[in-house]
Amino acid sequence: MLFFLFRSYITHRRRRLIAELGLLKKLQQRDEFCPEDYEALRYLVSSLHSSKERWNYLVISVCSLAAIAWDLIF
């Protein structure tokens, strides 16, 4: 539960940053970026790149399958 609450917080933070700075609109219209925009994009890209989310989901999936198997066997 804590993991999913934390992931929800991170996702909300990313979405808020994108919305507040209008980054999607600026990218679609190929507008100029200010230094704050570049810093926001750096944060978004680096946080997505370094995210261990896929490993967390793998561990959760393996543990869930193991729990189901354990329940079916015993």
How much is the pTM? Answer: 0.65
pLDDT at 44: 92
Residues 17/10, Cβ–Cβ less than 8 Å: no
Residue-number span of the structural domain to which 59 is assigned: 2-73
Counting the structural domains of the chain, the total is 1
Residue 60 has pLDDT above 90, yes or no: no
**Span 31-52, pLDDT tens digits:** 889 999 999 999 998 888 777 7
- How far is 69 from 72, CA to CA, in rounded Å? 5
Contact 14, 46 (CB under 8 A): no
Question: pLDDT grade, residue 64 (50/70/90)?
Answer: very high
